[in-house]
């Protein structure tokens, strides 16, 4: 891949994705959106990738949409924005359906399309001074980036409306208390903590993790009976896998399991 706004490398089962447009606060423009979707496709079809670590270069994780770029688009903005969101939303759809855990490491700030992106990850590590804000209505816009799907599910409708309508700024600790962030660490430890968490997941039963991810997301919108039937079907299949048999044997034999992701 010929990338200019994102860096991508795979090491020891972990795809290391780094937002790499620090001069523009890692804001979302058409190139960024297209490259993010390309990266998601690469992750989806690379069997060497068992977990994903996503961090950012610079002081800001992502400031959201590139408003300077939008302003320069003039009357052509609706078409440009619509085309860009096909890629940006497409990246979120891929991320959600890929049966591999995604861990985000957020430093500085995430606003607008940036907080939307954070909302779509499976697990989030945040620096202790990180700030989160929606910011859309402050610019006369409405939410995008799939935030109305993911963020509302993470924190609840009332809190989602508070963030969306008032544009209040949420601290990292508040975000953790609200269930939006999983871990808060010192700012200078974010990248390492994110890579470590992704690495620990990559060394685990990744087939099991992928199925668990799908069950949780799909179960949220299912009836009790649908969720139960889906769980029964998937766990029965897991018991026939190499990792499923290994996990049971290791537990019985009181030894560490040797998972291979199959």
Report pLDDT digits (tens) over 5-61. 999 999 999 999 999 999 999 999 999 999 999 999 999 999 999 999 999 999 999
Structure tokens at 99: 């049966």
Structure tokens at 140: 């006369």
Chain Cα centroid distance, residue 132: 15
Domains of the chain, by residue range, sit at 6-202, 206-253
DSSP H or E segment with residue 94: helix 77-97
| Among candidate residues 229, 202, 230, 237, the one with its CA nearest the CA of residue 215 | 230
Query: For residues 15 and 36, what is the distance between their CA atoms, to the nearest angstrom?
Result: 13
Chain Cα centroid distance, residue 99: 13
| Residues 6 or more apart whose Cβ sits within 8 Å of residue 152 | 160
DSSP H or E segment with residue 201: helix 190-202
What is the SS3 assignment for 72? helix
| Residues in a beta bridge with 121 | none
Residue 135 contacts residue 157 (beta carbons within 8 Å) = no
> Quick one: DSSP state of residue 20?
-
Domains 6-202 and 206-253 share a fold: no
Q: Quick one: the chain helix, strand, coil %, rounded to 5? A: 55, 15, 30
Residue 195 contacts residue 53 (beta carbons within 8 Å) = yes
Question: Domain spanning 6-202: which superfamily?
Answer: 2-enoyl-CoA Hydratase; Chain A, domain 1 (3.90.226.10)
Structure tokens at 76: 């052509």
Structure tokens at 89: 């939303």
Residue 20 contacts residue 171 (beta carbons within 8 Å) = no
Query: For residues 43 and 37, what is the distance between their CA atoms, to the nearest angstrom?
Result: 10
Residues 221-235: tens digit of each pLDDT: 899 999 999 999 999
User: ∠74-134-70 over CA atoms, to 5°?
Assistant: 10
Mean pLDDT, residues 165-193: 97
- When pLDDT is cut at 50, 70 and 90, the band that residue 130 belongs to is very high
- When pLDDT is cut at 50, 70 and 90, the band that residue 152 belongs to is very high
Structure tokens at 237: 């299949």
Query: For residues 8 and 54, what is the distance between their CA atoms, to the nearest angstrom?
Result: 9
pLDDT cut 90: percent of the chain above it: 88
Check whether domain 206-253 has CATH 1.10.12, yes or no: yes
Q: What pLDDT sits at residue 230?
A: 94
What is the SS3 assignment for 134? coil
**Global pTM?**
0.93
């Amino acid at each position: 891949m010929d990338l200019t706004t994102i860096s991508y490398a795979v090491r020891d089962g972990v795809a290391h994705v780094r937002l790499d447009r620090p001069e523009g606060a890692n804001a979302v423009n058409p190139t960024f959106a297209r490259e993010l979707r390309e990266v998601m496709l690469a992750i989806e079809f690379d069997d060497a990738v068992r977990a994903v670590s996503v961090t950012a270069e610079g002081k800001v994780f992502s400031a959201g949409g590139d408003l300077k770029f939008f302003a320069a688009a003039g009357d052509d903005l609706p078409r440009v924005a619509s085309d860009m969101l096909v890629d940006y939303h497409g990246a979120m759809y891929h991320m959600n359906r890929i049966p591999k855990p995604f861990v985000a490491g957020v430093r500085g700030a995430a606003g607008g399309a940036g907080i939307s992106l954070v909302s779509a990850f499976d697990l989030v590590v945040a620096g202790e001074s990180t700030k989160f804000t929606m910011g859309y209505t402050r610019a006369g816009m409405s939410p995008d980036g799939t935030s109305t799907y993911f963020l509302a599910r993470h924190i609840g409708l009332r809190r989602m409306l508070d963030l969306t309508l008032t544009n209040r700024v949420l601290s990292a600790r508040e975000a953790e208390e609200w269930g939006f962030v999983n871990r808060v660490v010192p700012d200078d430890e974010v990248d390492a903590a994110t890579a470590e968490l992704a690495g620990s997941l990559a060394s685990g039963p990744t087939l099991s993790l992928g199925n668990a991810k799908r069950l949780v997301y799909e179960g949220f919108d299912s009836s009790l009976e649908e969720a139960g039937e889906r769980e029964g079907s998937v766990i029965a299949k897991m018991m026939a896998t190499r990792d499923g048999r290994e996990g049971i044997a290791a537990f019985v034999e009181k030894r560490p399991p040797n998972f291979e992701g199959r």
